[in-house]
Amino acid sequence: MKKLLFLTFLLPLFVSSQEYVDLFRIGYGQTFNNNFEGTNSSTFVKSFEVGLTFPVVLNENHALITGADFSRNNLQLFPEAEFTSLYSTNLKLGMASNWSEKWSSTIILLPKIASDYKNISSDEFYLGGFAVLKFKKNTNLKYRFGIYASQEAFGLFTTPIIGWYYLSPNKRFEMDMSLPISADVSYKLGTTTIGVDYFGIGRSYNVHYENAPSLYADLSSLEFASYLQFNVMEESVLLRAKLGYSSNNYEMYAEGEKMDLGISAFSFGDDRTQLNPSLNGGVFLKFEAIYRFHIKENTKSEEVNSK
């Protein structure tokens, strides 16, 4: 029974690019000041995120990936307006597969509900997902190639994913790249780690105002940060403090206004009329806690216990 429970977590990790998987993550952050262009008004953005990933083994080469993510952003969408909370809840359902010693893949569906949650209907439901093919070059270097796509209030958004994962032989220097979505470069100093990371995201949220037509917020956010991380409980719990810059632009549009296609940073057939002033970026501070499951260390422990 012990081996079965351990295998439930172990197999999906072998098909991932890293030597670990983050099973749980929680974070809270806030920007200090975001100015509305062409006005004397400003706001700030408070963010809260929590995510859970739970893998379930199907056989020796395939595992079901399940989980959920929740986020809440609180800000003023118009100058001098009341603060609005924008929520996103998505489920994770997919398959991680190991095809050979060199090749593996992960395919995940990401259905979500995104709005201010004041009047939830089928209009707030969107379907997205990603597929990634991974190639193990050697023990220290793995490449990944994939695509991400999502339905949004403004239409279809998609972006290619090209990246790699590198861990130095002394296990101190680490690079985890999935461009243009995310990047993380870090160096371990014993129980502490210093690093820099980047996260780019595009999302939309339906917004409802009383006695007014429905709108939606088109979020385009680029976050650049440096961080200090404390590794505790044999590096299974990571406590991270981040300081950086976030663009955080929430453009407001009338419901039904769409573009033809969004590909990465480019948009095609976009003749929408923006209803609010653009929001400038600002410095942000964020705190994160992560529960990380390590593969090789736990594999060795299981081998010892089984003898």
Q: Phi/psi of residue 176, each to 5°?
A: -130, 100
Q: What share of the chain is helix, strand, coil (3-state, %, to 5)?
A: 10, 65, 30
* CA separation for the pair 270, 282 (Å, rounded): 26
Q: Where are the domains of the chain?
A: 2-306
For residue 304, the model assigns a pLDDT of 33
pLDDT at 3 over 50: no
72 or 270, higher pLDDT = 72
Cα three-residue angle 291-293-297, rounded to 5 degrees: 140
The verdict on pTM exceeding 0.95 is no
Which amino acid, residue 282?
G
What are 103's two structure tokens?
């090749």
pLDDT tens digits for range 96-140:
999 999 999 999 999 999 999 998 888 899 999 999 999 999 999
* CA separation for the pair 258, 245 (Å, rounded): 29
For residue 19, the model assigns a pLDDT of 67
pLDDT tens digits for range 176-210:
999 999 999 999 998 999 999 999 878 899 999 88
Neighbour-count burial of 191, counting CB atoms closer than 10 A to its CB (0-12 exposed, 13-18 middle, 19+ buried): exposed
Q: Which of 40-54, 237-251, 263-277 has the least mean pLDDT?
A: 263-277
